Amino acid sequence: MFIGVDHGTRAIRFSSHDEKTFELDRKNASKISFDELLSLMQRYLSIDPSKIKLVALTYSMGDGIHKIKRIEDVENRGLLEDGGAGSYVGGGTHIYDLFRGHEIPTIVLPGIHRRSPIDPRLKVFSHHASPEKIGDCYYVLKKFHSRNFILCDVGANTVSVGVKDGRIIGGLDACLFSPGVYQGPLDLEAIRKTDRGEISANDAFGLGGVKKFTLLNTENLDKKDLVFENRRFSSLKIEGFQAFKSLSLLTAMEASAMEVLVPDADIFVCGFVSEDEKFIDEMKGLLKKDITALGDIASVGCSLIARDVFYGARNILGIEVEI
C-alpha cells in the first residue's frame, strides 16, 4: 500500500494509490496523534497501517531540496528558511514531524524553484511551485498519459506548471501572476500599504486574491480572512460575479503565457475551483480549447510517486530520486 500526503493551503489530504482520500483541516491536523492518524487511514483508506510500504509527503514551499529524498535525510523539513507566502497554522508541520518520528518509510518531495532542473530562463524567479504540484502533474502523466501539458491549480491561490516531454520545465507561482480566491500577487496598492507599515507583505499576499473585491479598504481587514480552512469558491457572495470573471480571465491568461514554452499543450485545471463547471466553461471560451477539470488530486499523485519510487523509479518528471 502506498500513501500520498498533500500539505494544501486549506487542509492536509491523505490518499492511497487506489484513490481513496480523506482530509484534515490544518487546525485539527496540528493536534492529532500518530495513532489517531493511523486509525483514520485504516477507516477512510481501507488499509492495514502495517502494510504501508512507502509514503510520499509534501511540506510547505519545499525550497530547501531539489531532489526526492528520504525524510531522515532532509534538513529543516526541506525549507531554505522558515516563513514565506501564506498563513502558518501548524498542521502541516505536525504531520511532517509525526512521519519523521515513526518507522513508516517516507520520502519528501521538493518544490520547484531556482535549484530545480527547469528552463534556465525562468530562474529569474526564486520559486515556481510548492511540492504538491509535483503530485498534481504526476497524476496527469499517469492517468492521462499526456507528456506535454499545462496544469493550473486554482483554489485559495493559483499556480500553473508546464510539463514538456514528461519533464517539469517551470511554473508561475501564486505570488507572480494570476490570483486565487484569497491569495495573490502584490500590486501597486499593496506595495504602498506595505511600505507605509499598514500591513505585512505576507498579509498583503493573503488578501491579494479576487476576494479583495469585497475587502478593498484596509479598515475592513480582519485576520480571519487570512485563514482558509473549509472555504469554497461558492462562498463568494453577490459581489462574486466580478471575482469570478477576473479569476477565469487571469487563470486563462496564465495558462496562455505558459503555452509559449509548451505549444499545443493539453490544459488541465485542478484545485477546488476546478469543480465549478461555470468556471471551466468560461476558461474554455477564453482559451478556445478543451480543458480537463480534475478537482483535488495532489495527494493521489503523491501516492503514485510513492508506488513508482518503491518499485525503482529514480526520476520523476525530471526530478532526481536520491534514496
Domain boundary assignment for the chain: 2-176+248-322
DSSP H stretches of helix in the chain: 26-29, 34-44, 91-100, 132-144, 188-195, 201-206, 240-258, 277-287, 298-310
Q: What is the pLDDT of residue 240?
A: 65
Q: Pick 2-176+248-322's CATH classification: 3.40.50.2300, 3.40.50.720, 3.30.420.40, 3.40.50.510.
A: 3.30.420.40
CB 26 within 8 A of CB 12: yes
What pLDDT shows up at residue 82?
74
Closest CA to 86 of 173, 203, 261, 167: 203
Question: Per-residue pLDDT for the chain (323 aa), expressed as one digit of tens each?
Answer: 999 999 877 789 999 999 999 999 888 898 999 999 999 999 999 999 999 999 999 999 999 999 999 999 999 999 998 766 656 667 889 999 999 999 899 999 999 999 999 999 999 999 999 999 999 999 999 999 999 999 999 999 999 999 999 999 999 999 999 999 999 999 999 999 999 999 999 999 999 999 886 655 434 444 444 333 334 444 443 246 788 899 999 999 999 999 999 999 999 999 999 999 999 999 999 999 999 999 999 999 999 999 999 999 999 999 999 99
Q: How many CB atoms are located within 10 Å of the residue 152 CB?
A: 26
Q: Please state whether 125 falls in left (phi above 0), alpha (psi between -120 and 50) or beta.
A: beta
Strand, coil or helix: 163: strand
What pLDDT sits at residue 233?
40
